[in-house]
Amino acid sequence: MRLSRTSKWILGVVTIVTLAIIYLPLSVVLVNSFNTSKNMAWPPPGLTLDWWQKASNSSGLMAALSTSVMVALGATAIALVLGTLLSMALARYKFFGKQAVSLLVVLPIALPGIVTGIALNNAFRTVLGWNLSIVTIMVAHATFCIVTVYNNVMARLTRMHPNLEEASADLGAGLWTTFRLVTFPQLGSALFAGGLLAFALSFDEIVVTTFTAGSGVQTLPIWILENMFRPNQAPVVNVVAVVLVVVSVIPIYFAQRLAGSEQRR
């Protein structure tokens, strides 16, 4: 399709404005992490590495970070196993209630976090009699993390010809061997993409976490929320934000490259 000079120009401007709205605030955060002014005066009166040093020495921050990573890893692991099993069942077998199951699985991602949070809080404490801990956060996060794995794997399985699994069985492989040698290698990038999304969902979740975290358990988003308005800590929050941006670029880069190489195949 050929575009006129004017429309090219307009579209170019819209693109630049859109990207600017997304990325300029992020660069402000980056600059502020070096800002000598505690109240983030603009333009910065001077630059300093103090906040970076403070951040690396803050034990509360480090603890929150490690809690968040553990929760996200745990929730992702649960989601990978259950999401894969679920999509295999729904993609490959017919059974009573199949439609209902596929709806019920996807629902948690649409449910308001506050509803999920209150419901799980009640269920964990009063019905199951558990103490809230890091494990309860993992389980709570897994309820909606499953959806991303399920969706990705499901899409891959429906595209993948069931003939491959039949061929494997035909050549003498049992169910588990077929999964290990044929199905799983086909799912690789779908699991990676689904797992990445699940990790990201869990890592910045705040509402459900508030209701399912035990006392003394603090994830990074909760730590940030609590420290953002403390004058001494606010610049440190900027440092955390910058680190998070950099850290999230890495998996997105790999996911993109993976998708690209699959399209070429």
Partner 1 sequence: MAGNSAPIAAIELVGVSKSFGAVTAVQNLDLVINDGEFFSMLGPSGSGKTTVLRIIAGFEPATSGTVLLAGQDVTSKAPFDRDVNTVFQDYALFPHMTVLENVAYGLRVRGIGKSERNLQALEALRMVRLEGFEDRKPSELSGGQRQRVALARAVVVKPKVLLLDEPLGALDLKLREQMQIELKELQRKLGITFIFVTHDQEEALTLSDRVAVFNQGRIEQIGTPRQLYERPESEFVARFVGTSNIFSESEAASLLAQPEACSVRPEKIEMRPSSQSQKDASVLPGKIIESIYIGSATRLIIEIDGGKKISVLRQASAGSETNFDRGQQVFIEIRNADLVPIKK
Query: Which DSSP string corresponds to the chain?
Result: ----HHHHHHHHHHHHHHHHHHHHHHHHHHHHTTBS-TT--SS-S-B-SHHHHHHHH-HHHHHHHHHHHHHHHHHHHHHHHHHHHHHHHHHH---TTHHHHHHHHHHHHHS-HHHHHHHHHHIIIIIS-PPP-HHHHHHHHHHHHHHHHHHHHHHHHHHS-THHHHHHHHTT--HHHHIIIIIHHHHHHHHHHHHHHHHHHHHT--HHHHHHPPTT---HHHHHHHHTTSTTTHHHHHHHHHHHHHHHHHHHHHHHHHHHHHHH-
CB of 175 to partner 1, least distance (A): 9
Query: Is residue 164 a contact residue for partner 1 (CB under 8 A)?
Result: yes
**Residue 260 C-beta: closest distance to partner 1, Å:** 16
Q: Rounded to the nearest whole angstrom, what is the least distance from the CB of residue 178 to partner 1 in the complex?
A: 8
Binding of partner 1 by 259 (CB under 8 A): no
Cβ 157 to partner 1 shortest distance, Å? 14
User: Which one among 27, 53, 158, 177 touches partner 1, defined by CB under 8 A?
Assistant: 177
Binding residue for partner 1, selected from 93, 172, 215, 232, defined by CB under 8 A: 172
Size of site (CB under 8 A) for partner 1: 18
Candidate segments 64-72, 110-118, 163-171, 250-258, binder of partner 1 by CB under 8 A: 163-171
- Of 178-207, binders to partner 1 (CB under 8 A) are 181-182, 185-186
Tell me the window of 10-18, 57-65, 167-175, 205-213 that interacts with partner 1 (CB under 8 A). Answer: 167-175
Q: Of 99, 170, 215, 231, which one interacts with partner 1 (CB under 8 A)?
A: 170
The residues that touch partner 1, with contacts defined as CB under 8 A, are 161, 163-164, 166-174, 177, 181-182, 185-186, 265
